[in-house]
C-alpha cells in the first residue's frame, strides 16, 4: 500500500513575518503617540487637537530608540531590564499559584471533603464533586497559562515603551523651549487689525490700539507679553527670542524661549495665532539675526 503524502509542516514564514510587522507597527504607533503627547504637553497643548496624520506617529519613535549613542544605550539597557522583569514576574506568578493551589488542596482534603462525605444531600454531592476536582486538570489548561504569560510580556513592554517615549519627549521639549532649541526663530508680520499684540513696523515703541477687543481670563498674561513681542539679545542672561513651535489646522503656535537660568519646572508661554484671509508673512531662521533693527 502506498503511504499517504505527509502534510507540509514547514513554518509559515510569511505569516509570522506579517504578525511581527503588525505588532511592531502597534508598538511604534504607541511610542510615537506617547512621545508627542509628552512633548506638546510641556507646551500646554493637547496632541489630540493638533490633527497629526496617523502615519506620522510611526516615524517619530526612531529618535526615541535610535536618536544618538546615549539613546541607543538607554534603549538596550531598558529592554534588558524588561527581560529580567518578565522572568521575575512569571516566576513569582508560578510560585504564588503553586502556593495557592497547595493551600486550596489541603483545605479540601482536611475540611471540605470530610464534611461533604457525612452528608447525602444533592448540594453536598455537588460540593464534594467540586472539591475532588483535581488541581492538575486546572494546571493542564495551557490556554490560561499562555494568556497570563502574554499579558505579562505585553504589559512590561508597554510600560518600558511608555517610559522611554515620555522621558525623551519631555527632554526634547525642555531642550526646544530653551536656548539650545532646534526650532526655528520666527518673524511673523500680519495686518495691523489682526490681533492686539505685536509691534508696529514703523514705530516699535507704539502699542497697538485695544479698542474693539474683549478679554476673558487672566489679564496678567496679556500684559506680560505686551511690549515683549520682538526679539532682544542685548542681555545675554535674559535674551528674548521668539520661536515657532508648530503650524497645524490653520493656527501658528509661537513661544518665547526660556532664559538660560530658567527653573526645571518653568514652562514658556505659547501664543496661538489664527491664519486669516488677509495673509501674513512668516520668516523662519535657525539663528537670530545679527543685524540691528532700524528704530
pLDDT digits (tens, 9 = 90+) for 10-43: 556 766 667 777 778 888 889 999 999 999 999 9
pTM of the model: 0.74
Domain boundaries, the chain: 13-177, 180-295
- Which of 62-66, 133-137, 228-232, 242-246: highest mean pLDDT? 242-246
Other beta carbons within 10 Å of 117: 12
- Beta-strand pair 251-256/281-285: unpaired
How high is the pLDDT of residue 2? 47
Cβ atoms < 10 Å from Cβ of 230 = 12
- Tens digits of per-residue pLDDT, 195-230? 777 777 766 767 777 777 777 877 877 777 787 777
150-171, pLDDT tens digit by residue?
888 888 999 999 999 999 999 9
Q: What is the percent of the chain with per-residue pLDDT over 90, rounded to a whole number?
A: 12
Q: What is the mean pLDDT of residues 222-244?
A: 81
Contact 233, 149 (CB under 8 A): no
pLDDT of 129 > 80? The answer is: no
Q: At what angle do helices 13-42 and 142-177 cross, to 10 degrees?
A: 40
Strands (E), the chain: 185-189, 242-248, 251-256, 270-274, 281-285
Lowest average pLDDT, out of 7-16, 49-58, 124-133, 195-204, goes to: 124-133
Summarised one tens digit per residue, pLDDT across range 96-113 is: 877 776 676 666 566 555
In sequence order, which residues have a C-beta less than 8 Å from that of residue 90 and are 6 or more positions away?
149, 152
- Predicted pLDDT at 37: 92
Grid cell 518653568 — which residue?
Answer: 266
Q: Give 245-251's long-range contacts (Cβ < 8 A, gap of 24+).
A: 245/43, 245/45, 245/176, 245/183, 245/270, 246/40, 246/45, 246/50, 248/50, 248/51, 248/52, 249/49, 249/50, 249/51, 250/274, 250/275, 251/275
Task: State mean pLDDT over 78-87.
Answer: 90
Region 174-202 average pLDDT: 80
Q: With beta carbons less than 8 A apart as the criterion, state whether 283 and 186 touch.
A: yes
Q: How many residues does the chain have?
A: 295
Amino acid at each position: 500500500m502506498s503511504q499517504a503524502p505527509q502534510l507540509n509542516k514547514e513554518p509559515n514564514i510569511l505569516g509570522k513575518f506579517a504578525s511581527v510587522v503588525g505588532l511592531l507597527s502597534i508598538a511604534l504607533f504607541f511610542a510615537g503617540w506617547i512621545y508627542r503627547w509628552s512633548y506638546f504637553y510641556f507646551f500646554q497643548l493637547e496632541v489630540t487637537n493638533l490633527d497629526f496624520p496617523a502615519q506620522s506617529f510611526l516615524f517619530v519613535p526612531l529618535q526615541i530608540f535610535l536618536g544618538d549613542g546615549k539613546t541607543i544605550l538607554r534603549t538596550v539597557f531598558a529592554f534588558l531590564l524588561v527581560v529580567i522583569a518578565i522572568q521575575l514576574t512569571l516566576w513569582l506568578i508560578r510560585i504564588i499559584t503553586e502556593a495557592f493551589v497547595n493551600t486550596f488542596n489541603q483545605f479540601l482534603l482536611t475540611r471540605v471533603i470530610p464534611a461533604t462525605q457525612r452528608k447525602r444531600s444533592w448540594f453536598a454531592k455537588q460540593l464534594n464533586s467540586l472539591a475532588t476536582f483535581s488541581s492538575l486538570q486546572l494546571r493542564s489548561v495551557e490556554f490560561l497559562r499562555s494568556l497570563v504569560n502574554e499579558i505579562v510580556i505585553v504589559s512590561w513592554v508597554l510600560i518600558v515603551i511608555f517610559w522611554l517615549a515620555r522621558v525623551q519627549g519631555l527632554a526634547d521639549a525642555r531642550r526646544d523651549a530653551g536656548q539650545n532649541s532646534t526650532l526655528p526663530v520666527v518673524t511673523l508680520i500680519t495686518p495691523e487689525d489682526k490681533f492686539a499684540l505685536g509691534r508696529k513696523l514703523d514705530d516699535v515703541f507704539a502699542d497697538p490700539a485695544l479698542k474693539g477687543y474683549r478679554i476673558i481670563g487672566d489679564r496678567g498674561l496679556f500684559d506680560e507679553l505686551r511690549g515683549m513681542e520682538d526679539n532682544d539679545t542685548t542681555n545675554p542672561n535674559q535674551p528674548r527670542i521668539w520661536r515657532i513651535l508648530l503650524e497645524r489646522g490653520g493656527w501658528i503656535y509661537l513661544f518665547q524661549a526660556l532664559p538660560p537660568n530658567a527653573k526645571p519646572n518653568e514652562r514658556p508661554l505659547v501664543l496661538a495665532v489664527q491664519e486669516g484671509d488677509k495673509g501674513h508673512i512668516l520668516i523662519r531662521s535657525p539663528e537670530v539675526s545679527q543685524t540691528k533693527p532700524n528704530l
